[in-house]
Structure 1
Amino acid sequence: MGRLYTEDISISYGEKLIVKNLDVVIPDGKITTIIGSNGCGKSTLLKAMTRIIPHQSGSVLLDGKHISKIHTKQLAKEMAILPQTPESVAGLTVGELVSYGRFPHQKGFGKLTKHDIEAIDWALESTNTMEFKDRSVDALSGGQRQRAWIAMALAQETDIIFLDEPTTYLDMAHQLEVLELLQKLNEEQGRTIVMVLHDLNQAARFADYIIAMKDGEVIKAGSPTEILTKDILRKVFQIDAEIGEDPRTNKPICLTYHLIKGEQKNEEVLYANDSNLVATS
């Protein structure tokens, strides 16, 4: 069992049930990616696990404690969250932005201590954003800005970092830049990384563990090799995919695919039958 996990969690927006009775375990010290079609509950699950939104039933536990009962500052010392479209105050410098990551550790009037300053500089160095410390966040490119936000998350000095679609709106080079940075943080510092990604090949390349969701349920969770298969992609996305092997990483890669037209209902019936067989075996 990992440090962070859910037990029978359900999440609703108003009357609409989005996530249904999920049991999810986040592996410690690994990169976990959540995949699935739009509206399947990926971001909703991420937000519930970080207490951004409430869940209606079940539990989210960190080190055996319900996160709802952990003090906000204490929880912020354990996990950091980078939302899908973070926004900063106009004119804020990169150094000022990253300093916000020290808020959970501050007391009294919030004056930065020597350790706070060291943590900020370390986060800037780790993300190669030190040269932008005195520059306005608004003046940065998309990739530079995303690295600055990751630096803020690093300055919190948490073991767990959540990112909701960290490559959104970035070009291919900047996407790779951000994902390689997260991989480096995981490999060199042992950070547990949890992120939502849309690109299947990026998920397979950078993740150790993938959670594949559909309609608020987990279809399957496992290694990239276990998830990036014709059968799983058919069930999750209704696509007929051809899977190969990335010659550089030896990870599975989706070479091409086409939509399965008129077969969705049959696929859902087949999946339900598979689930019943598993449940009764």
Structure 2
Amino acid sequence: MARLYTSNVSIGYGERLIVKDLSVEIPDKKITTIIGPNGCGKSTLLKATTRIIPHQSGSVILDGENISKENTKKLAKKMAILPQTPEGAGGLTVGELVSYGRFPYQKGFGRLTKQDIEVIDWALEVTGIKDFKFRPVDALSGGQRQRVWIAMALAQETEIIFLDEPTTYLDMAHQLEVLELLQKLNAEQGRTIVMVLHDLNQAARFADYIIALKDGEIVKAGSCEEVMTPSVLRKVFQIDAEIGRDPRTNKPMCITYNLIKGEERNEEASIPAPIAAYANS
């Protein structure tokens, strides 16, 4: 049994369910990516799994305990999350924002210890923003700000890190830097990484395990080879994909694709999601 898993979780806003009776295990000390079309429940699943939002039914279990009953500081020492659109950095310097990652370890008046400062400096170093430590976050570019938020998540020193589209606002080089950093943290420190990615080839290149969602339900979960197939991508994204091999990693990659049009697309769209998933499984 995995350390972290959901059991028949349903999540929604008001009366509208986004994720329905979803059960999934997150592999320990691996990189998991979640893919799927906009609005399918990727971010909602991340938020509920990290207790940012509540779930209507079911349970999220970490180390045998239901996270809804877990002490907040204790939980924050086990998992960190970088939201899709982090907010609340107005007036703070880079170093001050990253220091917030040390909150679960602070006692008394919340003063930073020598160990806290060392961890903060390490997080700034590995994310390439050490020179910005005393600069206001508001003065940075979008890509630089994204790296500050990632540094804050790293400073939390958790065994599990969730990231919702961590490459947003970054150019291609910085996207690769961030993903390679997460891969290094996984390989060298055994961190469990769970992230939402829109780029299918990045998801396949860096993931050990992929969860493909559509309409709040899992279409397929498994290895890159099991998920990055024309049939799965057809069900999830309604595209006709050509799958090949990355010449550098030998991982599957989407070489090109066409949008499915006409009667075939309309027929699939007219079938209720649970029936369509069952019929095409």
TM-score with structure 1 length normalisation?
A: 0.93
Q: Report the equivalent of 1:171.
A: 171
For 1:218 and 1:265, locate their aligned partners in 2 and report how far apart those are by CA, in whole Å: 21
Q: Report the equivalent of 2:23.
A: 23
1:93 Cα offset (Å): 1.3
Query: Contact 1:6–1:22 (CA<8 Å) still a contact in 2?
Result: yes
Q: How does 1:61-76 map to 2 (within 5 A)?
A: 61-76=61-76
Q: How does 1:16-165 map to 2 (within 5 A)?
A: 16-165=16-165
Q: Report the equivalent of 2:265.
A: 264
Letter matched to residue 264 of structure 2: E
Query: Contact 1:46–1:164 (CA<8 Å) still a contact in 2?
Result: yes
For 1:136 and 1:238, locate their aligned partners in 2 and report how far apart those are by CA, in whole Å: 44
Q: Are positions 1:244 and 2:247 aligned together?
A: no
Letter matched to residue 8 of structure 2: D
Query: Contact 1:146–1:178 (CA<8 Å) still a contact in 2?
Result: no
- Greater shift in the superposed pair: 263-272 or 23-32: 263-272
Query: Contact 1:242–1:254 (CA<8 Å) still a contact in 2?
Result: yes
Query: Contact 1:235–1:271 (CA<8 Å) still a contact in 2?
Result: no
Q: Which runs of 5+ in 1 are unaligned?
A: none
Q: Are positions 1:203 and 2:206 aligned together?
A: no
Q: Secondary structure of 1:24's partner? A: strand
For 2:208 and 2:23, locate their aligned partners in 1 and report how far apart those are by CA, in whole Å: 19
Query: Contact 1:88–1:97 (CA<8 Å) still a contact in 2?
Result: no
Q: Report the equivalent of 2:278.
A: 275
For 1:183 and 1:70, locate their aligned partners in 2 and report how far apart those are by CA, in whole Å: 29
Q: Deviations over 1:65-112 (max 9, x none)?
A: 000000111111110010001124333111111110011111111011
Q: Deviations over 1:179-217 (max 9, x none)?
A: 122112111211111111111111111111000000110
Query: Contact 2:26–2:32 (CA<8 Å) still a contact in 1?
Result: yes
Q: Deviations over 1:232-266 (max 9, x none)?
A: 00000111001111101111111111111132354
Q: How does 1:8-19 map to 2 (within 5 A)?
A: 8-19=8-19
Query: Contact 2:4–2:26 (CA<8 Å) still a contact in 1?
Result: yes
For 2:31 and 2:141, locate their aligned partners in 1 and report how far apart those are by CA, in whole Å: 26
Number of equivalences: 278
Letter matched to residue 177 of structure 1: E
1:38 Cα offset (Å): 0.6
1:273 Cα offset (Å): 6.9
Query: Contact 1:9–1:59 (CA<8 Å) still a contact in 2?
Result: yes
Q: Secondary structure of 2:43's partner? A: helix
Q: In angstroms, what is the RMSD of aligned CA positions? A: 1.9
For 1:17 and 1:113, locate their aligned partners in 2 and report how far apart those are by CA, in whole Å: 44
Q: Report the equivalent of 2:254.
A: 254
Percent identity reads 77
Change (3 A) 1:274 1:216: closer
Letter matched to residue 162 of structure 1: F
1:272 Cα offset (Å): 3.7
TM-score with structure 2 length normalisation?
A: 0.93
For 1:117 and 1:76, locate their aligned partners in 2 and report how far apart those are by CA, in whole Å: 18
Q: Secondary structure of 2:53's partner? A: coil
